């Protein structure tokens, strides 16, 4: 079992070399199409996710045109 210091150290190392880190629960929620609902208890995270999705859709529309 990792302690807090070890986890933070690993996260920092991943950040330094550009390796993305994700919570598996969030990944599974996205795969099942329920990420909006899963983020509902976290309004700031939900807002960021929705803004990102709006930007992605706008970029996709630019590619089509």
Over the stretch 6-22, which tens digit does the pLDDT of each residue have?
Answer: 999 999 999 999 999 99
Dig out the tokens for 15 from the structure. 């950040």
CB atoms within 10 A of CB 35: 19
Which structural domain, as residue segments, surrounds residue 36? 4-64
Of the pLDDT bands very low, low, confident and very high (cuts 50, 70, 90), residue 38 is very high
Count of domains forming the chain: 1
Longest CA span, the chain: 51
The answer, yes or no, to whether residue 33 has pLDDT greater than 70, is yes
pTM comes to 0.61
Residues 46-57 have a mean pLDDT of: 91
Proportion of the chain above pLDDT 90, given as a percent = 77
Q: Annotate 21-34 with three-state secondary structure.
A: CCCHHHHHHHHCCC
Query: Distance between CA atoms of 39 and 48, rounded to whole angstroms?
Result: 10
The answer, yes or no, to whether residue 3 has pLDDT greater than 90, is yes
């Amino acid at each position: 079992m990792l302690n807090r210091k070890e986890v933070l150290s690993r996260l920092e190392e991943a950040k330094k070399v550009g390796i993305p880190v994700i919570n598996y629960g969030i990944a599974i929620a996205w795969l099942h199409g329920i990420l909006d609902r899963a983020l509902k208890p976290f309004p700031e995270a939900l807002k960021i996710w929705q803004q990102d999705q709006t930007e992605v859709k706008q970029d996709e529309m630019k590619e089509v045109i």
